Structure 1
Amino acid sequence: MKTLGWDDEPGGLPREDEGRARTDWIVYGLTAGLSMAFVFWGVLWTDSLSSTAQSALDWLLANLGWLFVLAATGFVIFSLWLALSRYGRIPLGQEGDEPEFRTVSWIAMMFSAGMGIGLMFFGVAEPLTHYVDPPPGTDAPQSEPAIETAMATTMFHWTLHPWSIYAVLGLAIGYGHYRRGRTQLISSAFTPLIGRHADGPIGRVIDILALFATLFGSAASLGIGALQIRTGMQEAGWIESLGTTVLVLIIVVLTICFVLSAVSGVARGIQWLSNINMVLAAVLAFFVFVVGPTVFVLELLPTSLGVYIRDFGEMASRSGATGGQAMRDYLADWTIFYWAWWISWAPFVGMFLARISRGRTIRQFVAGVIIVPSTVSVIWFAIFGGTAIKQQRDGLNPFGDGSEEQITFNVLGHLPWEALTAIVVMVLVAIFFVSGADAASIVMGTLSQRGANSPARWVVIFWGAMTGGVAAIMLVIGGDKALNGIQNITFIGALPFAVVLILLCVSLAKDLRNDPMMRRQIKGAEVLEDAVVTGTARHEGDFELVTRPSPDDDPARG
């Protein structure tokens, strides 16, 4: 059977597993069986799944929501510490390896795979929603201070935190695979911590949890994309009904598209789509910036950054301990949902980032993965969120009934060429999802086949189809509030993997301390210190250190 590679075109990653990929039937079989059982449960007993998911969510939020709050900020601190510390010089590969993708393509691929569809869905809706309904205990709705709070809160959810989560896993996989020669399995990154158990039952449990998180995270994105595309089709006059049947049909079409893209390999599929979408997204943002409230957006940028920095500690420490039920509901709908979503995306985004980052140092990796996308996100939300807030202040009421998938089209409806921009949004959402989900399906295949660079076609197709099935169930159990069903299942699926990521930080830190570069640095410091001590003792401080050939290499002794 032909296998799928990340190296099908020049510039791709090197093939390290020629031939038939070997399936890990324990990891694949258990995960596939439980996933299919979930889909059947949703199809046959929808109400039962819905009530069970809601009960589980309520309990988890009440008892374990704090774990997400603390862990997410911890990943930010850990990632920045690695980049700024002496470990930042360590390459993801052998010393002398050169990056295998041009920087522009590298940034385009990681940004598109990481959160493109989320920016399209929430880019307008989140700042406007926080302006109309600010976080509990902050500002009065639709007041001047609420503008600052809305933008700072949005930046808090979309900049350092998500990309730090991705960076942790990407560093662990990239370092272990390219520097230490381990397989591209998340369990392999735990070798420094648990030794040979990483290849045993404990390692398989880790990979199963990663598979589940990836599946539910990808399905959540597919569901969100389907919601927005359905609304866009109605705005364009293509459909009249907003029923579940339309959503399922959209999911089927998108699933087929990303499976076809996935089997084409990185260079022909993901890289091509990512570059196209970056251009389309830039054109749309420039259009809204020019025809929208340009001066207001420009003024909003420095204000938003300043308030984000000022209020970072307060936003990072919000929890259900204060604020009552209103705060708990807010966290469940926004902050904790986002942390769960980012964590569930971490396995496939992190592994994907690792695969395209060979040859870059840890410092370069963290800078590229965290700073560049965060900067783009700040600009994106200032343009789209600022335009929405200005329209709301002017009495145009793009907020409407508060439906997130509708708000984007409401804002575009008050700008020129609304029919064309609505189509562009739908195309962007579709391609953003395809470019992210085909990476996810290949990564799920990799986890199923012992870290193979080129998972078999049938495995990729299976996980693609399963992602579509889970997305459909998520939307169906949400009923009239389909987004609620997505949020409930995403949180439940991400919780176990949050614990895995925390332990992964410990394993990575232990691994880096024993890196050859670090050992040389420690040895060099010891040798230098010994030489200075000896010179001081023998020559009373009046000496110099020189290098010369060793006796065996001295030509005069030949």
Structure 2
Amino acid sequence: MYLLHKLGLRTDPVIFSVSVALTVLFVGASILFTAPVDVLFGTVSAWIITNLGWFYILGVTTFLIFLVWIGFSRYGRIRLGGEEDRPDYSRLTWFAMLFAAGIGTILMFWGVAEPISHFANPPQNNVEPQSVPAANQAMGYTLYHFGLHTWTIFCLPALCFAYFVYRRGLPLRVSSIFYPFLGDRVRGPIGKAIDTLAVIGTLFGVAVSLGLGTLQINSGLAALFGLEFSKPVQVLLISVITVVATISVALGLDRGIKRLSDINISLAVGLLLFVLFTGSTLYLIRGSIEMVGVYLSWLVPLSFWNDTFGNTGWQGTWTVFYWAWTITWSPFVGIFIARISKGRTVREFILGVLGLPTAFTIVWFSVFGLSAIGIELDGPGGLVQAVVVQDDIPGALFVFLDNFPLATVTSALAVLIVAIFFTTSSDSASLVIDLLSAPEQVKQTPVRQRVFWAVTEGVVAATLIAATGQSGLDALSEVVTVIGLPFFVMGFLMMAALLRSLREESLPPATHHQPTLRVRLPHQRMPRLPRRVRRFGPDSAAQPAPRSEEP
């Protein structure tokens, strides 16, 4: 604690120290004992996928049903803040910020690669590969992975954060959500353990994404300039992204992250429109409308599908991993969304966080996915060969753009978009980790503290790439799958805590048999009333209580 003070850091010493120690321990073990660590987490991850994959599938679907019900119930009118509070950001800026901090990076990485992968290797064996039915199945599964279910994983904790912080005055921490069950113990060992787990999950989730983004950027630069696809280049790229993220997080939310988010969503939309209007425009417009129906027709079956009869293991390597990986991001994305959503109603919040990104996701994959499939069905092809046969998933987007005019310009633009998406994810995560590890009474943390976490994220990703290469990222992905399990358990507790608090808020004024949720702020002692007041009520201090005439 003395050392942290000398360094000028204002942190919770337990959360900060334990999180840093566990991170250093994992990175060190990955470098020194790569094979045993891979075996350990690979074994546990395989066991979870085999025996608890159904729990992941059921969990996300349950979260989605719960959120839709809350949004259209009487609780939807509750405002996240005081009744006079209004949103700080316009809907367009709000959407750009939550999208850039959410899955913008994933859409760039998988926009072409996943539809082509499922088109060449259909998840269900009764479909002929590279056929029209395979195309429909590929788009249905892809939209399921990146539509309502992914944003449900972000929306549930985000709504809980926003409610307990802006309605109940609790600190912006994961442990605050569990106040209805733990009371003041959220400030004790249990609460600190929850917040530490959130910090570790966020660090590892961001490290995986930085690794994937680095591979994609390196692949794009190799296609553009012949740059070597190697570990030194990837470490250099992570260093550059970390420097930009550090500058952004030092500037703060409004000057850094907000500006980058606005710029990047504009560039991404520009690339989308370029593909739409330079490709088969009529085909893509018709297909985009059709994909809405494809998504809706696949939504319910896939929401409960567990590959019971086929038992191919496909779901474990795709859907279960996606859900586990996404939920490790949920504390940081949830807190970030809550931070920018004060003043919105519960209904507006749920519809916005679920609806707007899902609609954009359908359009994005309809344009990129259908264009890629069209190139295989009616064009020169080559994408299946690159993505599936040669396993060049990071380079899928750039192989795809070679089929359009101005391929060099658009590939350079794609590299820039990916870099900014990963920068906004990194600096958003740094901001949130800083909030999680700071004392709850501290309103503003030193800039060097946020910079520390931005650098730490880059160091974790760079160390894994430099020490163990792709196997290190695979090992980290398996760790993410393991870490995701307790977060799913916490998700069910979040639903119960939120519902309990919403019901209490909607009750009439409290009576002796209707207790309300009372939040006690740190270092705040409840005043002790005189004995007569405690026994007979507030008016009894002025005059004796009247004697009742009833028996």
Give the match for residue 356 of structure 1. 340
- Using the TM superposition, name which of 33-42 and 489-498 deviates more: 489-498
- Say whether the 8 Å CA contact 1:35–1:466 is kept in structure 2: no
- For the structure 1 residues 233 and 193, does the alpha-carbon distance in structure 2 shift closer, same or farther, using more than 3 Å as the test? same
Q: Which amino acid aligns with 2:112?
A: V
- After TM superposition, give the deviation of residue 484 of structure 1 in Å: 3.5
- Mapped partners of 2:470, 2:452: distance in 1: 29
Q: Which amino acid aligns with 1:307?
A: V
Return 5+ residue gaps in structure 1 as ranges.
Answer: 1-19, 524-558
- Mapped partners of 2:126, 2:460: distance in 1: 37
Give the match for residue 372 of structure 1. 356
- Say whether the 8 Å CA contact 1:262–1:269 is kept in structure 2: yes
Give the match for residue 345 of structure 1. 329
1:155 to 143, 153, 158: 143
2:232 to 245, 255, 261: 245
Within 5 A, what are the aligned runs for 1:9-408?
A: 22-239=10-227, 241-319=228-306, 321-324=308-311, 326=312, 328=313, 330-393=314-377, 394-399=379-384, 400=386, 401-408=390-397
1:432 to 415, 418, 421: 421
- After TM superposition, give the deviation of residue 522 of structure 1 in Å: 11
Question: C-alpha offsets along residues 409-468 of structure 1, whole Å, 9 cap, x if unaligned?
Answer: 111011111111111111101111111211111110111013444333333223222222
- After TM superposition, give the deviation of residue 113 of structure 1 in Å: 0.6
- Say whether the 8 Å CA contact 2:31–2:467 is kept in structure 1: no
**How many percent of aligned residue pairs carry the same amino acid?**
37
How many residue pairs align between the two structures?
498
- For the structure 1 residues 192 and 245, does the alpha-carbon distance in structure 2 shift closer, same or farther, using more than 3 Å as the test? same
- Mapped partners of 1:34, 1:345: distance in 2: 18
The alignment partner of 1:319 has SS state of coil
- For the structure 1 residues 474 and 68, does the alpha-carbon distance in structure 2 shift closer, same or farther, using more than 3 Å as the test? farther
Question: C-alpha offsets along residues 210-250 of structure 1, whole Å, 9 cap, x if unaligned?
Answer: 111111111111111101000001001241x3222222221
- After TM superposition, give the deviation of residue 63 of structure 1 in Å: 2.4
- Say whether the 8 Å CA contact 2:144–2:298 is kept in structure 1: no
- Mapped partners of 1:172, 1:60: distance in 2: 27
- Using the TM superposition, name which of 48-57 and 443-452 deviates more: 48-57
Question: C-alpha offsets along residues 277-302 of structure 1, whole Å, 9 cap, x if unaligned?
Answer: 01101110000011112122122223
- Mapped partners of 1:478, 1:117: distance in 2: 23
- Mapped partners of 2:280, 2:305: distance in 1: 32
- Say whether the 8 Å CA contact 2:154–2:334 is kept in structure 1: yes
- Say whether the 8 Å CA contact 1:47–1:477 is kept in structure 2: no
- Say whether the 8 Å CA contact 1:49–1:477 is kept in structure 2: no
- After TM superposition, give the deviation of residue 483 of structure 1 in Å: 6.0
Return 5+ residue gaps in structure 2 as ranges.
Answer: 1-7, 512-551
Within 5 A, what are the aligned runs for 1:407-556?
A: 407-451=396-440, 452-475=442-465, 479=469, 484-515=474-505, 518-520=506-508
Give the match for residue 525 of structure 2. none
The alignment partner of 2:198 has SS state of helix
- Mapped partners of 1:138, 1:205: distance in 2: 47
- Mapped partners of 2:262, 2:462: distance in 1: 29
- Mapped partners of 1:402, 1:193: distance in 2: 48
Q: Which amino acid aligns with 1:492?
A: V
The alignment partner of 2:111 has SS state of helix
- After TM superposition, give the deviation of residue 21 of structure 1 in Å: 7.5
- Mapped partners of 2:463, 2:56: distance in 1: 25
Give the match for residue 531 of structure 1. none
- In the superposition, the TM-score normalised over structure 1's length comes to 0.85
Moved over 4 A (4+): 473-483, 520-523
Q: Which amino acid aligns with 2:399?
A: N
- Mapped partners of 2:279, 2:473: distance in 1: 29
Question: CA RMSD for the aligned pairs?
Answer: 2.0
- After TM superposition, give the deviation of residue 272 of structure 1 in Å: 0.2
- Say whether the 8 Å CA contact 1:101–1:356 is kept in structure 2: yes
Question: C-alpha offsets along residues 59-88 of structure 1, whole Å, 9 cap, x if unaligned?
Answer: 221222222111111111111111111100
- Mapped partners of 2:322, 2:246: distance in 1: 26
- Say whether the 8 Å CA contact 1:446–1:454 is kept in structure 2: no
Q: Which amino acid aligns with 1:344?
A: T
Give the match for residue 10 of structure 1. none
